[in-house]
Amino acid sequence: MYLEGEGIIMDLFLIADSDCGGLLPLVRVLAAVIRLFWIIIPVGLIVYGTIDLGKAVIASDEKEVKSAQSRLIKRFIYAAVVFFVPILVGVVMNIVAAGDPGDTDGWSGCWDAAWRNN
């Protein structure tokens, strides 16, 4: 979210950084790493599973094809779990934060600032 004027943007940064206790740059790096893993791991699992299945089909071995199919299905499940775990953790943390806003506003504001500005 960009607002007119450099001073307003700097003020928003300072407010978010005060929520983080001066750790906003570190939290931003953590958010970037999570986003990177959130995309790369599921795609990698699906690609590797597809390559394994392709090798098995080319080899024309029925037993190997069935084995590769089961590995591909497991990798799809693992990819879905890796993709949805951060979403579920975020939902649970927001529910917890809504219950007691006094103590959780700081980390919630910090995480939101890091996630939006990455």
Q: How many folded domains does the chain comprise?
A: 1
Q: Does the residue 110 lie in any domain?
A: yes
Whether 53 is covered by a domain: the verdict is yes
Q: Is residue 88 part of a domain?
A: yes
Average pLDDT over residues 95-99: 71
Q: What is the pTM of this model?
A: 0.65
In a domain, 34, yes or no: yes
Phi and psi, residue 117, nearest 5°: -90, 5
Where does 1-118 have alpha helices with state H? 6-19, 24-59, 62-99, 101-116
Phi-psi sector, 61: left (phi>0), alpha (psi -120 to 50), beta: beta
Q: Judge whether 104 lies within some domain.
A: yes
Domain residue limits at 77: 6-116
42 belongs to a structural domain: yes
Q: Looking at the domain assignment, is residue 1 inside a domain?
A: no
Q: Does residue 27 lie within any of the structural domains?
A: yes
Digit-coded pLDDT (tens) for 74-94: 999 999 999 898 888 888 877
**pLDDT tens track for 24-66:** 788 888 888 888 888 899 999 999 989 998 998 898 888 989 9
